[in-house]
Every structure is written in C-alpha cells, then in structure tokens.
A and B are shown apart, each in its own frame.
Chain A
Amino acid sequence: MTVSAADRYTRHVMGGIERAQAAAPSSLAVLLRDITKTFPGVLANDRVAFEVRPGEVHALLGENGAGKTTLMNILYGLYRPDSGQIFVRGESVLIRSPRDSIALGIGMVHQHFKLIPPHTVAENVALGLKGTPFWNPARVVERGLRELSERYGLPVDPATRVWDLAAGEQQRVEILKALYRGAQILVLDEPTSVLTPQETAELFKVLARMKAEGQAVVLITHKLAEVMEAADRVTVMRRGRVVGTVRTQETSKAELARMMVGREVVFRLTKGACAPGEEALLVDDLWVRNDRRLPAVRGVSLKVCQAEILGIAGVAGNGQRELVETLTGLRKADRGRVEIGGRGVTNASARTLASAGVAHVPEDRLRMGIVPGMSVADNLILRRHHRPPFSRGPLLQAGKIREVVGQAIEGYGIVTPTPHAPAKLLSGGNIQKLILARELSEGPTLIIAAHPTYGLDVGSTEQVRRFLLRCRDEGGGVLLVSEDLEEIMELADQIAVMFRGEIMGTVAAGEADLEEIGLMMAGEARRAPQP
C-alpha cells in the first residue's frame, strides 16, 4: 500500500466514523478522534482516530514506537493529549487521570505489571477501590475475587504475595483487578510477551468470554499471528499515524505487514552457510539462582562454536536473563562450568570476562549499555577503558581514544551531531549501534546479545542483524537471546529452547519446525541431545 492509499483508507475510516457518529454514536464503546500527543523531540500520536465496539476484540497493531501504547495511555488517563476528543459510549468525556477512566469502566493491563510485589493479591486488587471498608479492606475483596476468577477462568489465590507469583499468574491478577472495577473496556498491552503458546491460547479463551459478556477488548500487539487469531478488527499504526482499520477476515498477514512497515518486508536476510570452528563457549551443567534465591538456571549445558550463531528461544522469564548475567560476570553460579575459548572462566568477574574476549550487548541498553549523561565518545570506551590502548597506567590516552571514536562512528553509521553530545540524545537505533561498535570492533571471541532489536524501528533492526551476521562471518561465536522467534529463525544456525531454566532441546535452524519449538517453549516436549 502506498502512502496515498493509506491516506485514502484513513479518510475512508474517518468518514465511516463520522457517519456512524451522526447516526448512533452510543453504539461505540470508545471513540478517539483526532488525538495528537508530542513528547520532547517525538510526535507520538498524529491526529489518530480509533474506535472500539462492545463485544469485539479490536487489535492495535504496529511496531515498537508506532504510538499504540501512548494512545491507550491517553485513553487510560496517564497522559493528556495535546488535542483531540474522547467519547465513551457516545458521550464526550474529559479524562484527567486513571481515576476518571476507571470510573468510566476502562481498565488496562500494562506490559510492565503495575502490581506491588510485597503486597498480597487481594491487597493489590483492593488498592484505591471505592467502597472498601476502612478496616481490613482486603478481606472483602477476596470473595468477589474468587467469583470473578471462576467466571472468567483465571485461577489465582487471593492470599499469596505477588512477588511469589509467576509472570502468567501476575497477569491474571492484573486482568482480575480491572474486571473487579467493572471494566467494560479492557486494554491489554502486549499481553502475550510473558506467556507460552499454551498460556496464550488460554488468554484468548478468556477474551472470547469477555466478548460474550459484551465487553470491548483492545489488544495492543506487534505479532501478526495473534491479530489474525484473536481479533475481529485491527487498526494498524505506523510512526504515530493510523494507516488503516480492517476486519481480520478481510485481510492477510502479508497485507498487515505491509501496512505496518510501509514497504515489502524482507522476511529472510541472506545468510551464508555456517562453517563452525573451534568452541567459543562451553557451558556445562550450570545452576544459577535468581534474586529470590530460587533456581533460575537448572543444569544448562550448551556450546557455541566460532563463526556460529546459537539462538536461545523461549518466553522471557525462563532463566535467560540469569544465564546471560552469569556468562557476563554479573551473577554468580552455584554449580557448573563455563569455558571461553578453552579457558575456564566460571564465576569470573565482569572485567575478567571482558578481557577474555566476551562482548555483551545488554537487554537494557539505556540503563546498562550506556551512561546516558556521558558523551558518545566516553560511552564508546566503556567496559574497555582500563585496557591499553585506551589507558596506560592510571591515565587515559586521549589521542588514541579520539581516533577509535572517529572510526567507530563512521564504521557503524552512528548518527550524532558531535562525539561529545550526550548519549541520551541519540535515537534507540543509534544507541544500539554505539553499543555494537563498542562491543564488536575488537574481534571478540564470544558475543552475548540479549534482545538486541527490542524496541527498534525496522531500519535499525535490519542494520543490527547485519552487524551480528558480519561478526559471525568474521569468526565470532554469537549467543543470541531473543523473544522474537522470527528473529531467531532468521539469524541463528542452531536454536536452543529454554523453559523453566532448562534447555528442552537444540535444533539446527534448517530442520526447525515451528510447532515443535512452540511445544518446547511450553515445556511440553523435549529433544534428546544429539551425540
């Protein structure tokens, strides 16, 4: 679809909305009209129009940064729009805070749960609720909770403390919290990012039940499969604008992808054949505990060869983070052995591992990967600043640093006004390129990349993936952790699936079968290690 076609489509939708409004606006549960919202340097929503009918599941589709969450946060009252109107059940409303939206029957389940970990489920549900008694407010909630729990199929124990619950269970609490407050319109922001395929199916059953009860559901997602499966209609957003609204029955994944991206999406990068060399990384029977002293990595054994990419697939929260932290020196293992290029480095410090040739592209690039307040140049020597040629003894070598910084900015295409600009002014893609320039430029033995393209636009995503492939072609071994199964399928030579801290099986990319991988991700299947 060309841009003008998208515009025509939008006008068609807008016209439809206006006609619908003139006729019977109260048939719409929610109508957002002409919503615009700017943040410093970013136009997050640009005259967006969006509507949901009762008894429908309406998907809001777009890549990261398209403006979907911002739009729903406006509906929920966390942000105020710069301009535009909101209608709920046909009436124009002013939503100043979540209090107003909750009163209007709007509930939202955020991507990062808004729960209070040390409090119980009942206390969390009771928080801020009107009409709870002054004394022991949580007690009264328990009864209602059990009832709702049964009706919608969301089993949860009201007396457990939230920090003892798994991610899927916490999500159930979030949904119950909204339902308890009488939500007639429920917004779910990327709900399946913490669920296995089987749990996702359960969630869709719950959504179907809500449809049957006449509630309206907005499903924010970037996954095409989910849209086709669970939604009745889908609105596609790109760069803050609505591209179009269609019925899922009348469209296809390819068309939605085109609307999302605006051009033909290349689903596969050309990847040379893999010619693995020596072992870059060997992990043997590794056991690691998480922050709550529970075992998160349970007897993991894996191997990454040089010039090979091993992708770790699996839903986030199954021990991948702890595994990455142990391999990069940020967490101690209880048991097991780790070897890099044949050298034993079990429980070595982060600095030792860096010197041993381990590069780390962290999951949280803003907080861990860079120091946002320091300059681009300063950030480019982070993690290796103590070694020659950047340091000789206690002194930094300014000249050499300048040279390397100049090369990195050019070689990796980092867009920055000057090398002295603070790194926080860079876009997400450029920050990731900065990190890659830093980590990849010294020819590391092993690169550990955790969710490297999370939150990046399509252009940067492609660049990042190309850099990783280039690294592998130049002889580095890559351990790629990603929630995006498509990305793993595209980049990895070998795929290992992690579930509950164990490797369920390892498959060569060529033989990978999506269903088998999905079952392994859910713990339903195993593949015995090949001799």
Chain B
Amino acid sequence: MDWQGWLVGIVGRALAFGTPLLWATLGEVYAERSGVVNLGVEGMMILGAFSAFAVAQTAGHPGVGVLVGAVVGGAAALLHAVMTVTLRANQYVSGLALTLFGLGLAGLVGRGWEGTPLRQALPPVTIPGLSEIPLLGPMLFQGQTVLTYVGLFLAVVLWLLLWKTRWGVVVRSVGESPATADALGINVFRVRYLAVVFGGTLAGIAGAYLSVAYRPAWTEGMTAGMGWIVIALAIFAGWDPLRTVGGALFFGALYHLSFRLQGLVAPELLKLMPYASAILVLALVGLRSVRRRGAPSALGLPYTRGER
C-alpha cells in the first residue's frame, strides 16, 4: 500500500476539512471568552454558505462571495448579541432560535440554487519553495486554498492578541468577571458585542469556505451539524486559539477517515463518528479539575449592572 500517498491524502484532507472548523471555532472561542455562548454558529455558517455561493455564482468571483458570507455571519451574530447582551435573553435558547431561523431561511431562499456547481470556485494554491520539500511539501503546502493558510495565521494572531495584549486582557476579564471589569470603567456591553459579531463573521467565512472552496456547490443543510461540533471543539480546546488548531485538525481527520473507511463499515455508521467523538472528547475534558478546564467564569450568564 502506498502509505506515503495515504498519509499525504489524510493530512491534506484533514487540513481541508479542518479549515471551516478552525475558522468557526476561533470565532466562537472569542465570543465565549467574553462570556457569551453562541449556539447559533450552525445558523451563521449555513447563512454564510448560502450567501457566499449566491454572490459568487452571480458575480463570478469566489472572493467576493467569501466577503459577503462574512458580513452575513456577522449580521446574524449581531442579532444574537442584541438578544443576549442588551435584552439579557437566555443565551442557549437565543442561539438555538438563530440556528432554527437560519437553517429555515437558507432552505427557503436557497431553493432553485441547488444542483448547479459553482462557476468559479476558490482555487487551490501551491506555496512556492515549501511545496518542494519531500513528503511534507505535498502534505501541507499543496492543494489547499488560501483560506486554510490565512486561518492558521489567524490562529497565531488571535493567540497573541488574547494573551499578550491589552485587548486580550479586557476580553478575558469581561468573561471572567464582568462586574469587576464594569467597575473599572470597561464597557462590558461593547466588548461582548464586538466579540460576538467577530465570532459570527468568522463563522460566516467558515460557511463560505464550504460552499465556495471545499465542495463548490449549494445543498440545503450542507453544514450537517458542523456548527455543533464547533461548540464542543471550543470546550475541547480550552478556549485557546492555538489548541483550536490541533482540535480542528483532529476532527478534520476524523471526518475524512469516516469517508475513507466506507469500504469496511456501513457508511451511515461511519458518519456518526464525529458526533460520537465530540461527546467522548467532552467527557474527557470533564475529568479534568474545574480550574484546569479553563472555562470563563461568567460564560452563559447575562450581565446586569448592580442587580438588587
């Protein structure tokens, strides 16, 4: 068996499928670091996927599609932010409502766009020089779209931002103890709005990647529950951008394996692997001590100033 080809194939596909997971999870990590759970990721991704496809198909340019997907994701997230930050609604239910709404809306408006492949998909790039390295070259630096590399770069930037800069301290403080941050003059509402909309924008790009790069076509429900895996991934990565890369690659490989092993096991049973793994992975996290898990202390709680 051509194990080299096999390895290149797996890592390559893991990178490809891990990319949307990476983008969406990075966004969710930031939103949750500021204390807001966003279960609407699935809805934002599907809306981003559809709008990106529709625009790219009409305009003939995939890049424009990705941009539009980002904006749409951000707009949907803005709605979530208004509900959870200003109206203090239950964050879990608001996210769910957004997903229901988003899936329905995308299905509604997406009728008639199905079946036609994208005219001009996002092309794969080959990194000059690095792609010549034996084995590692074709594995890592060939056949991926630019979004993959930007995503990896973004992970590093976001890590630096979170841990080494003033903005990062502010975001983390808002998520740990909004009352304290508020008492020091930080605008908790603004920080949370920005973090949530940022998360939505990245989720929109993740969705756009699916319809414009990974499988350049539009199908209803093409996100197939990936948004939920993103939530689990954020927990699994300990809300850290660099650990997110590892987690995204792991699940990317899992998705690909479930495709590869189809000859051996019934395809439907393979398809449930990522979901079962998400549960397993969360159970493992649960075994760590509460402090080591690293959840932001105020996660999921609406903030009201000076409640009596």
By a beta-carbon cutoff of 8 Å, the part of chain A in contact with chain B is 39-40, 42, 73, 76, 78-79, 97-99, 102, 108, 110, 114-119, 123, 126-128, 132-138
Contacts and interface: CB of A to CB of B under 8 A. Distances in A.
B263 interface: no
The residue in A76, A123, A128, A134 that gathers the most chain B C-beta atoms within 10 A of its C-beta is A128
B183 interface: yes
Contacts of B166: 126, 132-135, 137
Nearest to A129: B184
Given A116-B173, A119-B169, A123-B169, A135 B164 contact: yes
Contact of A115 (B172, B180, B186): B180
Interface string B239-264: 00000000000000000000000000
A102 B184 contact: yes
Contacts of B172: 116, 119
Contacts of B226: none
A62 to B, nearest CB: 17
Contact of A119 (B164, B167, B173): B173
Contacts of A137: 165-166, 169
Contacts of A136: 164-165
Contacts of A114: 177, 179-180, 183-184
Contacts of B184: 98, 102, 114, 127-128
A39 B305 CA distance: 13
Contacts of A99: 185
Specify the main secondary structure of chain B where it touches its partner: helix
Interface of B: 164-167, 169-170, 172-173, 176-177, 179-186, 291, 297, 305-306, 308
22 contacts: A40-B308, A76-B183, A78-B182, A97-B182, A97-B185, A98-B183, A99-B185, A102-B185, A110-B183, A114-B184, A116-B172, A116-B173, A117-B177, A118-B291, A119-B173, A119-B176, A127-B170, A128-B184, A132-B166, A134-B166, A135-B165, A138-B169
A116 B185 contact: no
Contacts, number: 71
A117 B183 contact: no
A78 B305 contact: yes
Contact of B306 (A78, A108, A118): A78
A128 B306 contact: no
B308 to A, nearest CB: 5
Given A102-B184, A127-B184, A116 B176 contact: yes
Contacts of A39: 308
Given A98-B185, A118-B291, A127-B170, 10 more contacts: A79-B306, A98-B184, A110-B183, A114-B177, A114-B179, A116-B177, A127-B186, A132-B166, A135-B165, A137-B165
The residue in B165, B172, B184, B305 that gathers the most chain A C-beta atoms within 10 A of its C-beta is B184
Contact of A127 (B173, B179, B305): B173
A117 B294 CA distance: 12
Nearest to A110: B183
Nearest to A39: B308
A99 B182 CA distance: 9
Contacts of B186: 127-128
Contacts of A97: 182, 185
B307 to A, nearest CB: 10
Given A40-B308, A118-B176, A134 B165 contact: yes
Contacts of B164: 135-136
A361 B180 CA distance: 30
The residue in A76, A114, A127 that gathers the most chain B C-beta atoms within 10 A of its C-beta is A127
A-B pairs with lowest CB-CB distance, top 10: A99-B185, A128-B184, A114-B180, A137-B166, A39-B308, A128-B186, A98-B185, A114-B183, A116-B176, A116-B177
A116 B174 CA distance: 10
Nearest to A73: B306
